[in-house]
């Protein structure tokens, strides 16, 4: 039977093809630098908006990888409140959303602080404020005391994908991991982020939430690599898009004898694609900011502002008056009046596709 990586005598002495990894790392670092160069030329409000959008995306998508769907408005409002930012249309956020946000912000805003047991336990407690994962009671803010298997499939037909180290070894394994995390200074921080992510997942030290905490650990080291708490790209968003391969690579490399080139290659390529997509979203933010600058004096009601911001933030599907009424919580007549008013003001127009129902879109200004 195949051995897990932690069962080999050389664990955790990881090896990789340095030449190949350095070439990839050079590409990532170049794009990182280019992105930060672009951001440094932007105004304060644009930076603020980009950061708010990025952090919101990160929190939403890291949870979505685990099959949990958080409310976009709640997440965005929670982040804005905790960062002391103000924007129209802020909503109440529940304590579960606040907890996930607190963990992510602690990782990225306090990136210089030491990572230790207590900090990780704080993150874990923030993720599970009720002491439960779904219906099940779990150990919170401490390492697991039970065996841990990653399984899928219906009851009675479960397939075991991974068996983590026994609970008796978790404390020893985490002490070793955290010492390396604190003292290893020779590695490039982007490579260190990839290794830390994999190593933590292998230990699987908690009853639940290991994936989200692993991604927060990665974000913490990526923030250190940027030497800035301003976030302009989301690794979690990219991992979600490549989730199938993410799990396949983890599953494959967990049986290696310590050679992790395949994991590092995938991680660096995934990060590169995250940076590429961030370039596009920065253009979106610029467009949005220019629009609001142009319409500073335009009289708009709260529903119109809400819907316009939704259109800028990547509205899903077509904009119809019925959709407007549903999202803005108003009658169909009010929605139509709002839309007609924006058309008169040269902000919206009818889509040319025609068809039975009328769709609307932003006028390219």
Q: Where are the domains of the chain?
A: 5-288, 301-362
C-alpha 76/C-alpha 67 separation (Å) is: 19
**Do residues 322 and 335 touch, judged by C-beta distance below 8 A?**
yes
- What pLDDT is recorded for position 249? 97
When pLDDT is cut at 50, 70 and 90, the band that residue 233 belongs to is very high
Q: Which of 164-168, 237-241, 319-323 has the lowest mean pLDDT?
A: 319-323
**CB-count exposure of residue 139 (10 Å: 0-12, 13-18, 19+):** middle
| pLDDT at position 354 | 61
Q: Which fold has domain 5-288?
A: Fic-like fold (1.10.3290)
Q: Verify cis geometry, omega within 30 degrees of 0, for the bond prior to 155.
A: no
Chain-centre distance for alpha carbon 251: 21
Fold agreement between 5-288 and 301-362:
no
Check residue 16 and give its pLDDT: 98
Structure tokens at 27: 């590409």
**Residue 209: band (very low, low, confident or very high) from pLDDT cuts 50, 70, 90:** very high
Q: Are 318 and 351 in contact (CB under 8 A)?
A: yes
Residue 75 CB neighbours (<10 A):
24
Q: How far is CA 157 from CA 2, 92, 153, 161, 163, in A?
A: 21, 41, 6, 13, 17
Phi, psi at 107, each rounded to 5°: -65, -40
Whether 87 shows a pLDDT value over 90: the answer reads: no
Question: Is the overall model pTM greater than 0.85, yes or no?
Answer: no
Listed range (37-41, 311-315, 337-341, 359-363) with the worst mean pLDDT? 311-315
The conformational region for residue 188 under phi > 0 = left, psi -120 to 50 = alpha, else beta, is beta
300 pLDDT higher than 80: yes
Residues 6+ apart with CB under 8 A from 348: 339, 342, 360, 361, 362, 363
Residue 282 pLDDT: 77
Rounded to the nearest angstrom, the gap between the alpha carbon of residue 112 and the centroid of all alpha carbons in its chain is 20
CATH number belonging to the domain at 301-362, selected among 2.60.40.10, 3.30.70.20, 1.10.3720.10, 1.10.10.10: 1.10.10.10
Residue 356: pLDDT band (50, 70, 90) is: low
How far is 231 from 220, CA to CA, in rounded Å? 11
- For 18-49, write each residue's pLDDT tens digit: 999 999 999 999 999 998 888 887 788 778 88
124: left (phi over 0), alpha (psi -120 to 50) or beta: alpha
What is the rounded average pLDDT of the residues 198-204? 98
pLDDT of residue 326: 92
So what's the pLDDT on residue 222?
97
State the average pLDDT for the chain: 92
Query: Token digits for 40?
Result: 């440094």
Cα gap 106→53, rounded to integer Å: 17
Q: How many Cα atoms occupy the beta-carbon half-sphere of 52 within 13 Å?
A: 25
Q: Which of 203, 208, 213 is nearest to 130 (CA)?
A: 208
Half-sphere exposure in the Cβ direction for 324 (13 Å, CA): 27
pLDDT higher than 80, residue 304: yes
- Record the tokens describing residue 351, joined without a space: 């889509």
**The tokens of 23 are what?**
């070439």
């Amino acid at each position: 039977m195949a051995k897990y990586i932690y069962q080999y005598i050389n664990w955790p002495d990881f090896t990789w093809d340095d030449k190949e990894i350095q070439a990839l790392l050079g590409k990532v670092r170049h794009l990182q630098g280019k992105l930060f160069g672009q951001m440094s030329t932007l105004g304060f409000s644009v930076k603020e908006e980009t950061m708010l959008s990025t952090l919101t995306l990160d929190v939403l998508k890291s949870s979505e990888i685990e099959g949990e769907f958080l409310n976009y408005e709640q997440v965005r409002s929670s982040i804005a409140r905790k960062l002391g930012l103000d924007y129209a249309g802020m909503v109440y956020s529940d304590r579960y959303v606040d907890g996930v946000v607190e963990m992510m912000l602690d990782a990225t805003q306090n990136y210089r602080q030491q990572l230790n047991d207590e900090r990780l336990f704080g993150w874990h407690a923030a993720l599970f404020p009720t002491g439960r994962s779904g219906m099940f009671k779990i150990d919170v803010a401490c390492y697991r005391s039970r065996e841990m298997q990653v399984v899928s499939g219906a009851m009675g037909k479960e397939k075991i994908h991974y068996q983590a180290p026994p609970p008796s070894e978790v404390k020893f394994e985490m002490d070793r991991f955290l010492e390396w995390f604190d003292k290893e200074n020779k590695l490039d921080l982007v490579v260190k982020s990839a290794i830390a992510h994999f190593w933590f997942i292998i230990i699987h030290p908690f009853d639940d939430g290991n994936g989200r905490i692993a991604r927060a650990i990665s974000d913490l080291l990526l923030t250190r690599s940027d030497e800035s708490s301003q976030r302009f790209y989301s690794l979690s968003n990219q991992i979600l898009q490549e989730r199938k391969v993410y799990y396949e690579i983890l599953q494959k490399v967990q049986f290696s004898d310590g050679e992790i080139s395949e994991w590092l290659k995938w991680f660096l390529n995934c990060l590169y694609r995250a940076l590429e997509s961030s370039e596009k979203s920065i253009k979106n933010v610029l467009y949005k900011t220019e629009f609001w600058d142009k319409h500073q004096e335009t009289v708009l009601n709260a529903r119109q502002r809400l819907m316009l911001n939704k259109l800028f933030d990547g509205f899903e599907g077509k904009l119809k008056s019925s959709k407007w009424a549903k999202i803005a919580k108003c009658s169909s007549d009010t929605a139509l009046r709002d839309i007609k008013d924006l058309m008169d003001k040269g902000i919206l127009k009818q889509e040319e596709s025609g068809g039975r129902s009328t769709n609307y879109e932003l006028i390219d200004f």
